[in-house]
Structure formats: C-alpha cells, structure tokens
Amino acid sequence: MELARTSRRKLSAILRYGSAVGFVAAALCLSLALRASFGNPAWFFFPAAVIATTWIGGRVAGGVAVLLSTLAVQYYFIPPVGFRINEHDLPYFLVFIVCEVLANWIISWRKEAEDAIREARDLLEVRVAERTAELKDANEALRNQMDEQRRTQEALQLARSELARVVRITTIGETTASIAHEVNQPLAAVVANADACVAWLSLNEPNLAEARAAADRAVQGATRASEVIARIRSMINKKPPERAPIQLNPVIEETCILAASQAEKNSVAIFTELDPNLPCVTADRIQLQQVLLNLVINGIDAMAGVTDRPRELRIRTRVQDSHDVLVSVEDTGIGVNAESMSRLFEPFFTTRAQGVGMGLPISRSIIEAHGGRLWAESILGRGSIFQFVLQSSEAGQG
C-alpha cells in the first residue's frame, strides 16, 4: 500500500512538471513559428503556458513554467540571441517576469480558493447527508415510539375497562344477599297474587274484579323482578359507557336497595337526605351506581367493629355553587389514619381484609372521566366521609 502511494505521488509530480515543460515547449514552438507574421507573440503564448500549467499543476509547477518561460524568452526573443540582455530591453524583460509571476500567483490563489470551496461544499454535502440520515432515523424512531405509546394507551384503556368490570362483579358478589332479597320479594308477590287470583276464580261465583286486580299485581311484581335482574345484568355485562342526563336521587335509592341486606347483616341503618330539586347530570348510570355501591359497601364494612355508638350510614345530595351536584357518603366507623389516608386511592392499597384495593381508584377514575372530583375526609375513631361532585347537565350545556 505504501508503495502504491509512493508510485501515485511520483506519477503526479511527473504530470505536474511535465505539463510545465510541455506547455512552455508548445508556447516556444508557436512563438517561433508565428514570429515572422505577428512580430513577437511570445508575450502572449508564454503567459498562457504559465497560466495553464499553474491551473493544472499548481503553484510549484507554475513556478517551473515561469522559470522555463523566462529562460526561453531571454534566449530566443530578446536580442542578442543567447543568455545576454542589453539595457534597452531590460525593463521589458522585467515586466514580462513580473507578469508571469503575478499570473502564477493569481491563478494558483484562485485555484486553491476554488479547491477549498469545492472541498468545503463536498464536506458540507457529506455532513448534510449524515445529518439528514440521523434526522430520518430519529424521526422513524419517534414515529415508532408514538405508535408503541398509542398501542400501550389502547391496551391500558382496555385493561382498565376489564378491571372496572371485574370490580363491578366483585362488588355485586358482595351484595348477593341483597340481590336475592330484592328478587325474592317481587317473586313472592307474584306467587301470592297468582294464588289469590286462582282463589277468586275458584269461587262458586267468581269475583272477576278481585281476580283481575290480583292478576295485575302479579304482573307488576313480575315486571319489578325483571327490572331488578336487568339492572344487575347491566352492571355485570361488558358494554361501553352510555352517557345521558340522569337524576342521581333514583340511582342512590336503587343502590340503597341493593345494599339493604348487607346493611341489615351488619346492623347498619342507612339514611338518605336527598335534595328534591337536584338537577340532572350527564353520566353513565351504571358507572355511577358502581361508584355509589362501592362507597356504601366500604362504609358498611368500616363500621363492622363499632360497638360504642350507632352504626349509621348517611347519603346526602345537594346543589353546590349553583351548578354542581355534591354527593356525600358518611359513616360512623373507625376512621382512617393519616398514613392510610394518603394512600387511599392508590391501586391495590386496601384497609379491608378481603379487599382487592381497586374499588376506590376505579371510582375516582370514573368520576374524573365524568369531569368531576372524588375525595375523602376522615377522623380516626369517629368515621369517614367520601364526597364527589359532578357538573349538572344545564351547566355543561351553558
């Protein structure tokens, strides 16, 4: 490899200096050939030879061309012939030398400047290409990251929906006794009214009016049982949220019915103080019922160890700031200490022995998804109060 470099350098030097000899020789031949017709054309051809040599071979090769041209002009074109010069032609000869030196310097300077510009442009193109490739790679990586983030967000949303459904099923499982009681009452009424209808029709003189009334009551009981079952199924089924203007008071009353058996089992009295002038809120009925049922069950469980005072759960609704609806669930349980209070809404954190720690985080996410806020206050040994606020439908439209 070193030998190849040496050979290339030698060949380049031969070409450079050879160009000097060749151009000067050509200028000499042309000058001699045309001297008879044009007088002394050496003043044109030799500077041209210097310029061409400098442009092709560089400043050193141009200097060699200047030297050879000077010798050729002094020998052939300044009398007497030979390497002698008289005083009369000395100024012209010096001017010729200066012109050739200036031509060599100017051409070499311009050639070096153009080479430097070319190298800078090539280097800039290389850097631009490298930077463009880097930006393209970075853009592709960013696009891939955004796609991955979008897929992660979609998977997270799906996981949250599935988890919320599991928590709903878990909550419903905890209120199985209430569900059985709620369904059993209308079914028992159906049986009783059906028996009454048969009895009225079995008389020697059937009492059609009473039989019809008993049949109507049986139909009403069956309808009520169907509504209860539909309500429970809607909480368990996997379906997207359906938001519509709803009244919170009936949702709270239904929740109290669902939790009645659980409250009775734990000797808890449920009281409601519901504002009759409560405006509607735009929300998913099933999701809000899930939040309320979770808060009620938590409040009932919080009073399991209370023996020195009545076990009471109070649910209140009222209008706040003229357009917000405030709902509070207050118990007389054992309360929550400061350390647990700070972690109360963390996923998988629970103070209940059988809890999974997802009810409150999901409840908060549901309320926040509806544009509201859920928070808790507690006094250790005296009880806790959970509150959430939602914007009314009228305020949302305004």
Query: Within this chain, do residues 202 and 304 fall inside the same structural domain, yes or no?
Result: no
- The answer as to whether 164 is a domain residue is no
Give pLDDT tens digits for 284-313: 887 888 788 888 988 888 888 888 889 999
- The answer as to whether 138 is a domain residue is no
- The answer as to whether 118 is a domain residue is yes
Query: Within this chain, do residues 77 and 93 fall inside the same structural domain, yes or no?
Result: yes
Give pLDDT tens digits for 97-125: 677 777 777 777 777 777 788 888 888 88
**Does the structure show a pLDDT above 60 at 392?**
yes
CA–CA separation, 383 vs 232, rounded Å? 30
Cis status, amide bond into 240, omega within 30 of 0: no
Count other Cβ atoms within 10 Å, centred on residue 160: 14
H or E element that contains 239: none
Query: Within this chain, do residues 335 and 232 fall inside the same structural domain, yes or no?
Result: no
Nearest Cα to Cα of residue 104 among 70, 151, 155:
70
Of 86-95, 209-218, 381-390, least confident by mean pLDDT is 86-95
**Does the structure show a pLDDT above 70 at 393?**
yes
Of 66-75, 170-179, 198-207, 237-246, least confident by mean pLDDT is 170-179
The CB-based long-range contact list for 4-7 (8 Å cut-off, 24+ gap) reads none
Higher pLDDT, 160 or 181: 160
Query: Within this chain, do residues 235 and 285 fall inside the same structural domain, yes or no?
Result: no
Query: Within this chain, do residues 38 and 109 fall inside the same structural domain, yes or no?
Result: yes
Higher pLDDT, 7 or 126: 126
Count other Cβ atoms within 10 Å, centred on residue 360: 23
3-class DSSP state for residue 376?
strand
Which of 131, 148, 163 is the last residue before a domain boundary? 131
For 119, residues 6+ apart whose C-beta sits below 8 A from its C-beta are none
The domain spanning residue 340 has which CATH number? 3.30.565.10
- The answer as to whether 155 is a domain residue is no
**Does the structure show a pLDDT above 70 at 30?**
yes
Query: Within this chain, do residues 215 and 280 fall inside the same structural domain, yes or no?
Result: no
Residues forming a β-bridge with 392: 281
- The answer as to whether 292 is a domain residue is yes
- The answer as to whether 157 is a domain residue is no
Asked if residues 390 and 280 have their Cβ atoms less than 8 Å apart, the reply is no
Query: Within this chain, do residues 9 and 80 fall inside the same structural domain, yes or no?
Result: yes
Q: What angle do CA 355, 356, 360 make, to 5 degrees?
A: 90
Q: How confident is the model at residue 43 (pLDDT cuts 50, 70, 90)?
A: low
Query: What is the overall mean pLDDT for the chain?
Result: 77
Asked if residues 389 and 320 have their Cβ atoms less than 8 Å apart, the reply is yes
Query: Within this chain, do residues 60 and 107 fall inside the same structural domain, yes or no?
Result: yes
Percent of the chain scored above 70 by pLDDT?
A: 70
Residues forming a β-bridge with 283: 244
Average pLDDT over residues 241-250: 86
Query: Within this chain, do residues 274 and 356 fall inside the same structural domain, yes or no?
Result: yes
Q: Kindly write down the DSSP assignment for every residue of 281-350, as one continuous string.
A: EEEEHHHHHHHHHHHHHHHHHHTTT--SS--EEEEEEEEETTTEEEEEEEE-S----HHHHHTTTSTT--
Residues forming a β-bridge with 314: 271, 330
**Burial degree of 132 (CB within 10 A; 0-12, 13-18, 19+):** exposed
Query: Within this chain, do residues 35 and 6 fall inside the same structural domain, yes or no?
Result: yes
Query: Within this chain, do residues 247 and 392 fall inside the same structural domain, yes or no?
Result: yes
Strand bridging mode 269-273 / 312-320: parallel
- Distances from the Cα of 332 to the Cα of 8, 265, 275, 384, angstroms: 99, 16, 22, 7
- pTM of this prediction? 0.48
- The answer as to whether 170 is a domain residue is no
- Domain encompassing residue 41: 2-131
User: Which pLDDT value is given to residue 288?
Assistant: 86
3-class DSSP state for residue 79?
coil
Rg (CA), the chain: 51
Which of 112, 131, 150 is the last residue before a domain boundary? 131
φ/ψ (deg, to 5) at 324 = -100, 150
Tally of domains in the chain? 3
Which of 239, 262, 294 is the last residue before a domain boundary? 239
Pair of tokens at residue 266: 């734990």
User: Which pLDDT value is given to residue 248?
Assistant: 92
3-class DSSP state for residue 384?
strand
Q: What angle do CA 58, 63, 67 make, to 5 degrees?
A: 150
- The answer as to whether 202 is a domain residue is yes
Query: Within this chain, do residues 219 and 334 fall inside the same structural domain, yes or no?
Result: no
